[in-house]
Chains A and B, each alone.
Chain A
Amino acid sequence: MRFNRFIGIRGTVVCSAATLMLGAIGCGKLESGANSVVSVKYLPDAAAAPEASAEGTPAQGEAATAEAGGVGTLKGRVVYEGNFNPLPNLYEKGGANKDPSVCGAEAIPNERILVKNGGLANAFIYLEKAPKGAKSPDVTEPAVFDQKTCVFLPHAMVVRTKQTIKVLNADAAAHNTHTFPGKNSQFNSVVQPDDRVGVPLVYTQVEKKPFSVGCDIHPWMQAYHLPLDHSFAAVSKDDGAFEIKDLPAGKHEFKVWHEAGDFLEKSLVVTIKPGDNEITISVAASKLK
């Protein structure tokens, strides 16, 4: 549940007439339990039309491009293939030696591979680029990235470029949040003890894959961020489930990434039909190290 707090975007909902007519899911209604609540506007994109149609993405001249095929929702689950022995905690309660009164208050879990009911958490499923003609609305509400008992919350998150991330600290010890992005500038800032106002962090560039975020004071702390300029991305929940909405019908190439296995799929082709689409992504245990 905790992802919702950070990824759920309660921004303005824009629905074009065309999408309304087709009864696209997610318009006009906010779902609180979803991974990500967005609706997407399809813009006429004359220039992109010919090639886009070749790829199977909806694109038809002047009218809203989604008209041609409608939009669908991708609901899926990332499944761990094999027997999973939960990874031992990084530190047991009281085991962390740095700021022991804070970090030692709870055991520090190893979140590298988390499996629940056979589902793999914290996998990123995303499109590298928004489908032609699809424009996700801007998000105005800031995302929240918190640190509690020397663990990052959430462990993995997709954010939007130019979206403000409030880096908070719920601990009574200072953290320094240090990002290692590819294209964005590094962020390395001290976040004071119990800072509930937060230090703002903004990514300006789209990244090709998630990158790690750490804390140099508490080197075991680890999280992953992926800034994108669109909303067609999700992080698998505790049980491996994820949902991506408002995908134009047609073929899409998804990337699936996990911290323990890098790219699990570099090009997962899914054909989206209007309405709900189900998918299961199997990950062999040997792929995760």
Chain B
Amino acid sequence: MTATPAAAEHRAPRNAGGPVGLAANSTSKIGDRLFLGLSTGASWLILVILAGVAIFLIIKAAPAIGADWASNDALNQTVANTPGHANFWEYAGPLLFGTVWASFLALLMGAPVAVGIALFISHYAPRRIAGVLGYLVDLLAAVPSVVFGLWGLSVITGFLGPLNQFLGEYLGWIPLFGGSISAGGGTILAGAVVLAVMILPIVTSISREIFLQTPSLHEEAALALGATRWEMIRLAVLPYARSGVISAILLGLGRALGETMAIAMIVSPKLIVSFQLLTNDNPATIASNIANQFGGANDMQRDALIATGLLLFVVSFLVNFIARWIVSRTAPGVRRVRKARAA
């Protein structure tokens, strides 16, 4: 952490090393100040935008969260037509579960595959076709989420059908595969598969770029010492790429958490907490629920939906926080490598 470029520059003396005659002139000073100003301004702008979004969400959501749901017909009946929501949390709880569960499944399926692909392109594929392969995977990023929804509906739900039947028949005693198997295929499994495919290009592209940037000196040194390819990757590439790959995965997670259309089109949602993967009664995600209910919602109901959006905001916050904390706690190898480089 101490070896960022900013810190390195900070440690170096001012006007480091250059001949006296070439000291910074006034244009460069202005250039420096301008650039610094622009960069700082950009960062502050982001803070302002985010604050704006947060304020907007809070203002809109507050009335719904604070309202007395039991007595408010609009809220406890027609947002879900499910009588008996005592308060906002009873309504939003299952939605929160659904969001986290779907994203978790997607990440479970997608992240390892994505890192594997990135490794393949950067270290295993023949040089000549690596570029083409990388480009092919980037093509997946070109596909809009609506198309993934359409594809999921026309291909994946049908494709998973026999698998659903098989799992339900033979492995139905496992809670994950229990319940009444969906005939149409609009299961959370199908949704998670499509989500996994959607986050693949993000995680792969960034991981690939990071793997490609490993100093070849380190790689060649490992190989010269007789390491197999996998050992070389484990010793030289992965520690170097660790934080970047985590960032890439978190970006993918963010995408999965916020994905609206594809899930709304594929998954058959109910407002329940369920771990069963293969039925028609799947937990809805916050984003897809907003997309589904927004068109028919009146003012108060819209506020309730926006309140769930605020909840999603907070959840992203927490998930990122926890992930980054875990990364910083479990990176002793990185620290050693970084310290050695900085020394």
The answer to whether A and B interact is no
Interface residues of B (CB under 8 A from A): none
